[in-house]
Amino acid sequence: MENPVALIHLANCQCEGLVVPDWSIQSGDSWCVFGRNGSGKQLIDQLLVGEIMPSQGVVERALTPDQIALISFERQQATYEEEWRLAATDIIPEDEWGTRVAEFLPQERLEDPLIDQLNMRHRLRAFYRELSTGESRKLMVLKALLDEAELLICDNPFDSLDQGTVQALSETFRLAVASGVAVILLLSNRSDIPEWAEKFGHVDAGLLTAFAGARDAQLAQLEAAIGTGAIVQPGIPEDAIRLEAYDAPYIAELKQCTVHYGDRNVLDALTFKVEPLQHTLVTGENGAGKSTLLGLITGDCMQCFSNDVTVFGHRRGSGESVWDIKRQLGLVSNDLHRRYTVRCDALSVVCSGFFDSIGLYDTPTEPQIRLGREWLQAVDMLNDAQTPFQSLSYGEQRLVLIARAMVKSPLLLVLDEPTQGLDELNRERILGFMSAIEARRHSTLLFVSHRQDEFLPLFKQHIHLTLNL
């Protein structure tokens, strides 16, 4: 690579919630900036792309806005909401689902080998809303690199990706850096730090510190700055429903289930059973149908009615009460998170779990409010009970949604990558909840994860799905 070129320099920058004393970013830089949920990490990307301006200090940019690419959960959410808006208008035909994947990319580069490297060739004709969270993340990275962005800012880019894709994406970033592109990874878990990263920073309580010196010296400074925070694991409220009141042989039973979108079978003749307390781990590549499998059980996949699906002893489509089923089911998923766009505070989001609604339209009872506050305390979010949900960081929103799923002590707790967006301390807290739930012998866990360190001994069944191309 030629001599590095200065791209952005921040000096004595101050804006609401963030202070950056001194930080220089050059072409070919590979930065990892570590920060916990609520530390101010999200404000860094907003400052770099110019979405917020400092009240004092200097920001020097040698880049135009279209030379900077931001890859984040918030950007994915904004694209998802725009696709829904298009579908609700007359802008696109009724038989269309919005924008196809290929339309997001430069048309003259649709044969680029990078598309194959990230395993997205088979999804070019798919609509954006058909993509899994991991696939939409890969699409954002593809678009940035094929558009020849000179600075990539990636907020927890490896979350929700299978191990093969993590390796492919990491290698893609490494090659981009070698070609002169500057890459900044904003991370919440030290285990996600790639070996090729050379520069490190830490943000805590809104103060960004950029370390200097050799790589090992910077890593030592980072370890010292992070410290070893103690995990506070508050007690879990008492159950409202007891397992001994449940008399069906299975929590969920699927027989020869097939789900197809267009000409592609996402699931093909899948048979699957979950007994009470048979905690089950579901793994598989991005796009292999993990979330679709969960949707058959929760009812969020409408093809559950054309398949042989039994949940809590009731066959789907046999006249069962949807609300009786939902009452015994708690859910955290990427799709729920994307759809939770209603304006309300964190406590209202948690209490909406009692009513299985997105937003709170019924008045909760005093005991329900008390339980809601207890669960916010359990995920260390009680101080934000009155904070608007949309004002929280993505990781903080995730914690609130986890409390929402747990608030009614469901017989089946469906967790689709629940730790996505969480820092390592909060991940340990949630995994601790799962162990506590196992010890109570009440809720049955159905858990989707890509992370090897989340494959806990409590899982009695492991279902691995493969990608149907």
* Domain end (from 226, 260, 285): 226
- In a domain, residue 21? The reply is yes
Task: Say how far residue 73 (Cα) sits from the centre of its chain.
Answer: 7
Question: What pLDDT shows up at residue 221?
Answer: 95
Nearest Cα residue to 157 out of 204, 118, 127, 130? 118
Question: What pLDDT shows up at residue 335?
Answer: 85
Residues in contact with 428: Cβ distance below 8 Å, sequence separation at least 6, in sequence order:
231
CA 87/CA 89 separation, integer angstroms:
6
Q: Could you tell me if 80 and 176 lie in one domain?
A: yes
Q: Could you tell me if 221 and 248 lie in one domain?
A: no
Using CA atoms, how far residue 349 sits from 295, 314, 385, 398, in Å, is 21, 28, 9, 11
Per-residue pLDDT at 215 exceeds 90 = yes
Q: Could you tell me if 434 and 288 lie in one domain?
A: yes
* Domain end (from 181, 196, 226): 226
- In a domain, residue 306? The reply is yes
Per-residue pLDDT at 166 exceeds 80 = yes
Give the pairing of strands 444-448 and 329-332.
unpaired
- In a domain, residue 232? The reply is no
- In a domain, residue 231? The reply is no
- In a domain, residue 237? The reply is no
Contact call for residues 157 and 71 (beta carbons, < 8 A) = yes
pLDDT band for 244, please (50, 70, 90 cuts): low
Residues in contact with 258: Cβ distance below 8 Å, sequence separation at least 6, in sequence order:
265, 267, 268, 269, 270, 307
Using CA atoms, how far residue 123 sits from 102, 170, 418, in Å, is 8, 21, 25
Question: What pLDDT shows up at residue 321?
Answer: 64
Phi, psi dihedrals of residue 268, rounded to the nearest 5°: -130, 105
CA 288/CA 44 separation, integer angstroms:
34
Q: Could you tell me if 169 and 251 lie in one domain?
A: no
Q: Which amino acid is at 251?
A: I
Q: Could you tell me if 251 and 219 lie in one domain?
A: no
> What does the DSSP 8-state code read for residue 229?
P
Q: What is the pLDDT of residues 425-454, one digit of tens each?
A: 888 888 888 888 888 888 899 999 988 888
Collapsing DSSP to helix, strand or coil, 36 comes out as coil
Question: What pLDDT shows up at residue 415?
Answer: 92
Per-residue pLDDT at 192 exceeds 90 = yes
Neighbouring C-beta atoms of residue 40, cutoff 10 Å: 22
Q: What is the pLDDT of residues 391-429, one digit of tens each?
A: 998 889 999 999 999 888 888 999 999 888 888 888 888
Contact call for residues 368 and 454 (beta carbons, < 8 A) = no
Range 92-112 average pLDDT:
83
CATH number at residue 101: 3.40.50.300
> Is 14 or 287 the better-scoring residue by pLDDT?
14
Q: Could you tell me if 109 and 247 lie in one domain?
A: no
Residue span of the structural domain in which 57 resides = 6-226
> What does the DSSP 8-state code read for residue 100?
B
Q: Give the percent of the chain with pLDDT over 90.
A: 54
Question: What pLDDT shows up at residue 199?
Answer: 97
Question: What pLDDT shows up at residue 339?
Answer: 86
- In a domain, residue 53? The reply is yes
Q: Could you tell me if 220 and 258 lie in one domain?
A: no
Per-residue pLDDT at 203 exceeds 60 = yes
Q: Could you tell me if 399 and 314 lie in one domain?
A: yes
**Mean pLDDT score of the chain, rounded to an integer?**
88
Nearest Cα residue to 400 out of 17, 18, 34, 38? 38
CA 200/CA 418 separation, integer angstroms:
27
Q: What is the pLDDT of residues 278-303, one digit of tens each?
A: 999 999 988 888 989 999 998 888 88
Q: Could you tell me if 407 and 437 lie in one domain?
A: yes
Number of H helices, E strands in the chain: 13, 18
pLDDT band for 162, please (50, 70, 90 cuts): confident
Range 355-364 average pLDDT:
90
Using CA atoms, how far residue 387 sits from 175, 191, 382, 400, in Å, is 41, 31, 10, 11
> What does the DSSP 8-state code read for residue 148?
T
* Domain end (from 191, 226, 261): 226
Residue with tokens 């590095």: 4
Contact call for residues 211 and 221 (beta carbons, < 8 A) = yes
Per-residue pLDDT at 20 exceeds 70 = yes
- In a domain, residue 234? The reply is no
Q: What is the pLDDT of residues 27-65, one digit of tens each?
A: 999 999 999 888 888 899 999 999 999 999 999 999 998
Per-residue pLDDT at 343 exceeds 60 = yes
Q: Could you tell me if 61 and 183 lie in one domain?
A: yes
Instruction: Look at the chain and report how many structural domains it folds into.
Output: 2
Collapsing DSSP to helix, strand or coil, 27 comes out as coil
Q: What is the pLDDT of residues 246-257, one digit of tens each?
A: 778 999 999 999
- In a domain, residue 94? The reply is yes
Q: Could you tell me if 79 and 219 lie in one domain?
A: yes
Per-residue pLDDT at 176 exceeds 80 = yes
Per-residue pLDDT at 322 exceeds 80 = no
Q: What is the pLDDT of residues 129-159, one digit of tens each?
A: 888 888 899 999 999 999 999 999 999 999 8
Q: Could you tell me if 330 and 452 lie in one domain?
A: yes
CA 163/CA 166 separation, integer angstroms:
5
Question: What pLDDT shows up at residue 202?
Answer: 96
Q: What tokens does 260 get?
A: 């197809």
pLDDT band for 77, please (50, 70, 90 cuts): confident
